[in-house]
Amino acid sequence: MTDKKTLLQETFGFAHFRPGQEAIIDALLAGRDTLAVMPTGAGKSLCFQIPALLFDGLSLVISPLISLMKDQVSALRQAGVEAAYLNSALTARQAATVLARARRGTYRILYVAPERLLLPAFHDLVCTSPPPFVAVDEAHCVSQWGQDFRPGYLDIAPFIAGLPRRPVLGAFTATATADVRDDVISLLQLRDPFVTTTGFDRPNLFFEVRRPRDRAAELRRFLEERRGKSGIVYCLTRKTVEEVCARLIEAGHKAVAYHGGLEADRRRQNQESFQKDEATVMVATNAFGMGIDKSNISFVIHYNMPKNIESYYQEAGRAGRDGSRAECLLLYGGRDVLTNQFLIEKGQDDGSAPNRPFRNAEYRRLRQMTFYCKSRDCLRARILRYFDEEAPDRCGNCSNCLQEFKEVDITVEAQKILSCALRMKGRFGAKLLADTLRGSKNAKIGEYGLDSLSTYAIMADESDASLREKIDDLLARGYLALSDDAYPLVAATAKARPVLFRGEKVTMKVPSGTRKGPARPAGDDADPLLGRLKKVRKALADRQGVPAFVIFSDATLRQMAEKRPQSGDELLQISGVGQVKGKQYGEAFLEVLREES
């Protein structure tokens, strides 16, 4: 009899479950609804694919994106699993064929777009053969609080309610906030669900923030050192995407662009050429990537600060999915805050104007993002704690942990700032606080009588930049807080009192010049054997018109190059080589591996 462990090893070729996977599979197999929150790259697909193969009958996977369905189905077929998808990419005739085969019991897993659920033909299918199990991938799409809200996802609950037999429901997402979690449970009507959040840490990702004077030059340098590697450059606006992409092409990079303003055909082409490693750099807005399963992305650069940490972590998390070391670099500039504020006010891309509480929540998230960029604490810890996860103070694998800082005592400056904030009674913004402290003659100062405060001009000899840095630091560490308004007001918090009234010490970290270089991902292009294995893979992939990583991931090829298996049995020991793939492709790789030893 097949069981989960056999499937894991023989079909998918993996020796062990990753953290969280087994518990989720067990809960689903026991018939319990499940909500699994796992970071991008953690391996959610396996958590619904294995149960789908163990339940009797045809299981459904509801998935938002055509490209994602296509790749997952290709990958399953490569592994010898009967799977298919139904979405708008199929012609009416193709869709009819899929439905007919599904009715005949050809498939074990059917991927379907939410918009198809309530169509009559599909309804007929599920009434005659009710699915034992329905998985909802990218489940945050039901929630207005998550990114990528998809109206079609609201059809899921009525669809489930209309089934002759209620299936086991599994919901999967990488978005972890409590708002989204609650929304998913109630909108999908999960029953007494097993809710699990696996660790959000992605130890193989290196996090870095830079504040370059010249972003374009910084990007050029970064990419120059990583020629030939696959990566994404995210920009905030379409215009920036176009500019950056053009510059990269000029500099000889194989770059393509992706944003909502491009023709659908063009978008698809560009995405495909990136998936197939023909283009190495994808320059895109946040429209690109939901459900991108490309496993060999070795860097994700944010050319601008994104709107919140959820987006950032999701986008950055597209790097290093196969577990290889990868880099996540954010280039921060003060103007990014304004651009994001503009985008929040303008509303969603689909033109719907968000309501006020929603906008205020967006401003709050934007501020957290800004704090991340300005923080001198461990970047990983900042992200993990944002998702309510505990984290050690230092990870040793982010730009702040590698930077040496010295702690300087800023107690006196902090007292001045906090005392002025207290006198301004939370009625003004951070700029006016700084202006008052520096004794500016700004018209508003006179208008509001701020020049009559005893703290007016008590920091007149401090530069604006250095004062703003201290205010930011006090904000980031909770001595000051901002209101939720579009133009937030600043106020001293309870944490300020011991500083003001009991002389509690405040220190601030200042970079001390030296910076240890990050442990760069090993340059694998230097390994000729790996290069040859990749060539074999590319040829196999091209012959079938599938992306290379669907054949084997980079991590799998790397392990081959390292362990140099010589026989079919040895090859099966490599992580990612299952029985069907081993049989189908093993010889082609073994040939190269045997030559080598």
Q: What residue ranges bind Mg ion (CB under 5 A)?
A: 44
Report 534-563 residues binding ligand ADP (CB under 6 A). Answer: 553
| CA separation, residue 520 to residues 212, 318, 331, 468, 524 (Å) | 20, 18, 18, 33, 11
Q: Is 135 in the site for ligand ADP (CB under 6 A)?
A: no
Inter-residue long-range contacts of 519-527, CB under 8 Å, 24+ positions, other chains counted: 519/206, 519/325, 519/397, 521/298, 521/324, 521/325, 521/326, 521/327, 522/325, 524/554, 524/558, 525/228, 525/229, 527/561
322 near ligand ADP (CB under 6 A): yes
Question: Mind giving me the DSSP string for 70-90?
Answer: HHHHHHHHHTT--EEEESTTS
Quote the DSSP letter at residue 517. Answer: P
For ligand ADP, the closer CB: 296 or 370: 296
Does 262 engage in binding with ligand ADP (CB under 6 A)?
A: no
Which of the listed partners (Mg ion, ligand ADP, none) does 247 bind, with a CB threshold of 5 to 8 Å by partner kind? none
Does position 383 bind ligand ADP by CB under 6 A?
no
**Taking CB within 5 to 8 Å according to partner kind, which of ligand ADP, Mg ion, none is near residue 340?**
none
Per partner kind, with CB cut-offs from 5 to 8 A, the member of Mg ion, ligand ADP, none near residue 436 is none
Q: Which stretch binds ligand ADP (CB under 6 A): 15-23, 361-369, 406-414, 464-472?
A: 15-23
Identify which range of 11-19, 277-285, 389-397, 429-437 contacts ligand ADP by CB under 6 A.
11-19
| Total length of the chain | 597
67 binds ligand ADP (CB under 6 A): no
Q: Of 172 and 372, which has the nearer Cβ to Mg ion? A: 172
Could you give the C-alpha distances from 119 to 69, 136, 224, in angstroms and in order? Answer: 19, 18, 50
Asked if 45 is part of the footprint of ligand ADP (rule: CB under 6 A), the reply reads yes
State in angstroms the smallest separation of the CB of 291 from Mg ion.
6
Q: Which is nearer to ligand ADP, 78 or 340 (by Cβ)?
A: 78
Task: Give the whole-angstrom CA distance, residue 417 versus residue 414.
Answer: 5
Pick what 148 binds: Mg ion, ligand ADP, none; C-beta below 5 to 8 Å, kind-dependent.
Answer: none
Q: By CB under 6 A, is residue 420 in contact with ligand ADP?
A: no
293 near ligand ADP, rule: CB under 6 A: yes
Report the partner that residue 67 touches, choosing among ligand ADP, Mg ion, none (CB closer than 5 to 8 A by kind): none
C-beta of 44 vs 202, nearer to Mg ion: 44
Q: Say if CB 423 and CB 454 are below 8 A apart.
A: yes
Options 4, 7, 11, 17; binder of ligand ADP; rule CB under 6 A: 17
User: Counting contacts by CB under 6 A, is residue 48 touching ligand ADP?
Assistant: no
240, 371, 441 from 422: Cα distances, Å: 41, 22, 21
Per DSSP, which regions of 285-402 are E strands?
A: 299-302, 326-331
Q: Say which amino acid occupies 351.
A: G
Q: Are 147 and 66 in contact (CB under 8 A)?
A: no
CB neighbourhood size of 597 (10 A): 8
Q: With binding defined as CB under 6 A, does residue 78 bind ligand ADP? A: no
Of 304 and 559, CB closest to ligand ADP:
559
Helices 411-423 and 430-438 meet at what angle, rounded to 10? 110
Out of 35, 37, 38, 417, name the contact with ligand ADP by CB under 6 A.
38
Sheet holding 281-284, edge to edge: 205-210, 326-331, 299-302, 231-234, 281-284, 255-258
- Under the rule (CB under 6 A), what is the footprint of ligand ADP? 14, 16-18, 21, 38, 40-46, 293, 295, 321-322, 553, 575
